[in-house]
A and B are shown apart, each in its own frame.
Chain A
Amino acid sequence: MIKVTNLTKKFGSNISLDSVSCEFKKNESIALMGANGAGKTTLVRSIMGYYHPNGGEVLINGLNPIKDRLDVLEHISFVPQLPPPIRLSIYELMEYISVSAKVDKELIKHYANEMKLDISGNLNKSFFKLSGGMKQKLLIAISLAKKSNIIIYDEPTANLDPKARDDFYRLLKQNEEDKVLLFVTHRLEEVRDLVNRQIYMDLGKIVSDERF
């Protein structure tokens, strides 16, 4: 599904990704780990098509995420580490997602309910006024409702309480089939039950890649 070949990304003189190659296939759940500045976020952003690489390429189902942006992003769900301060109301955000990615709003509400988040009563509330945990729950609900083949989570449980984490893991277990799940994390123990592969990055390179 995801094929990264000799990917290099530089920011000025700093090499953030140094000829990285890896492949993620269907039914793989990967924990992408490494110290700060190891290149994890750069790799994820390159997969999403946000960065123009200095060398190498990324292919998602054979498509380039920059040139074939729309086709590629139809198959990817992404939840960032920190929910951004989006000033749209919850309803407007759901409208944006529903129109752009053809996601059923009822399905978002369903997964939000599963995450113990009542959005029906907060539809006119600005997203950025929600608590950190509520924002994260909503973004997770959206990522699941999108029914993508590739789900990328950057520290998804950072703002969640233990109960919400359990709900999140339960929902992921129910939705992991035939997908690529990519977790950017510093704490393997949090996703150990979900992942079957662990990649460790350092100084822009993959230094270990283990399957279990």
Chain B
Amino acid sequence: MKNLYLIAFLDLKESIRAKWFVVYSLVFGGLIALFFIAGVTESQVMGFSGLSRLLLMYIQITIVILPIFILITTVRSISGDRDSHVLEYMLSFPISLKQYYWGKVIGRFITVFLPVFFAMVIAIVYGAFKGAAIPWSIFFLYTGLLFAMTSAFLGIAFFISSFVKSSEVALGLSFFIWIFLLAFIDIALISLMMQERMSSGLIIFISLINPMEIFRVAAISLFDPQLTVMGPVAFYILDSMSQTVFVLVSIIYPVFLGLLFAFVGYKIFEKKDLV
């Protein structure tokens, strides 16, 4: 365990010093600052106002940029070390592959999750200071959703990192996965739905196994428990489970997905040549 924490701690320290981390933190911190400067908390649109509106806007933007940030910064974690022969040297010491891999996962999780979370905490603290009502239920739901989405994409990134030969391929693959989950899968499913080749229930199920989609739906479910903004799709979701169960699934499923990908990545890392 000591080695696992050591790897996690060193990866965290190394990441915090990296330029990408500065940009990453500035983007999410800057978003919150920008919302306050722009007076988002004072505006009211479709019943959302104050900090709730700010958090909703924050989460809507986060859906788009967090996955790609996680993918491009993490996907080179192991493949980059392999490329630059860092892995060859670091693994010449008696440290198990399990400790090395999972230590990296833990360190990188803390690095990518904390700035996104702290940006939300800053919004809450500043909002409270300005006298706004704190939407605790939304804050806790979004914390859970961010945790879940971070886990899912971190797992996918480590999975890619475990088998690609070069950092360039890893980056290309990351970008493809991001754009596929963000847009292509929806376009494909809409096209299938229009052609009526598959049942609507199956298409909605496929759509919801996309961690970005389930995040998106869960994020609005707290404001709109009946999911009326989604039209008939809400029928399929809420007919299968209650809103509370859906929220729980939207947190547990991406965490499971992330762990599954990370585990498969570990198995590949263990079985393949190391350098």
Contact = CB atoms under 8 A, between A and B. Distances in A.
Contact of B84 (A73, A77, A84, A92): A84
Interface string B75-114: 0000000001110111111111100000000000000000
A187 interface: no
Contact of B89 (A69, A86, A95): A86
Nearest to B3: A100
B197 interface: no
Interface stretch (B6-14, B38-46, B200-208, B223-231): B6-14
Contact of A69 (B18, B94, B273): B94
Contacts of A49: 274
A87 interface: yes
B89 A78 contact: yes
Contact of A73 (B14, B86, B94, B273): B94
B271 A52 contact: yes
A85 interface: yes
Given A76-B92, A95-B6, A99-B3, 14 more contacts: A45-B88, A49-B274, A50-B91, A51-B274, A69-B96, A71-B94, A77-B92, A78-B92, A84-B85, A85-B84, A88-B10, A92-B14, A95-B10, A101-B93
Given A85-B84, A95-B6, A100 B94 contact: yes
B271 A96 contact: no
Nearest 5 pairs of A and B residues by beta carbon: A78-B92, A73-B94, A50-B274, A84-B85, A84-B86
A96 B275 contact: no
B17 interface: yes
A137 to B, nearest CB: 15
A45 B84 CA distance: 16
Contacts of A80: 85, 88-89
Q: Which of B18, B86, B271, B275 has the most CB of A within 10 A?
A: B86
Contact of A96 (B10, B272, B274): B10
Contacts of B91: 50
A95 B18 CA distance: 20
Nearest to A139: B89
22 contacts: A45-B88, A49-B274, A50-B88, A50-B91, A50-B275, A69-B97, A70-B96, A71-B94, A73-B92, A73-B95, A74-B94, A78-B92, A80-B85, A84-B84, A85-B86, A92-B14, A95-B6, A96-B10, A99-B6, A100-B94, A100-B95, A101-B94
A92 B94 contact: no
A78 B84 CA distance: 16
A82 interface: yes
Nearest to A70: B94
Q: Which of B10, B94, B272 has the most CB of A within 10 A?
A: B94
B130 interface: no
Given A76-B92, A100-B6, A87 B274 contact: no
A188 interface: no
Interface string B249-275: 000000000000000000000011111
Interface in A87-118: 87-88, 92, 95-97, 99-101
Interface of A: 45, 48-52, 69-71, 73-74, 76-78, 80, 82-88, 92, 95-97, 99-101, 139
Contacts of B96: 69-70
Contact of B13 (A50, A74, A83, A92): A92
B10 A73 contact: no
B273 A51 contact: yes
A35 B95 CA distance: 32
Contact of B14 (A71, A74, A87, A100): A87
Contacts of A99: 2-3, 6
Contact of B93 (A87, A92, A96): A96
A48 to B, nearest CB: 6
Interface string B11-35: 0011001100000000000000000
B17 to A, nearest CB: 7
Q: Which of A45, A49, A71, A88 has the most CB of B within 10 A?
A: A88
B92 A48 contact: yes
A3 to B, nearest CB: 20
B235 to A, nearest CB: 52
A43 to B, nearest CB: 13
Contact of A50 (B10, B84, B86, B273): B273
Contacts of A48: 92
Contacts of A76: 92
Nearest to B274: A50
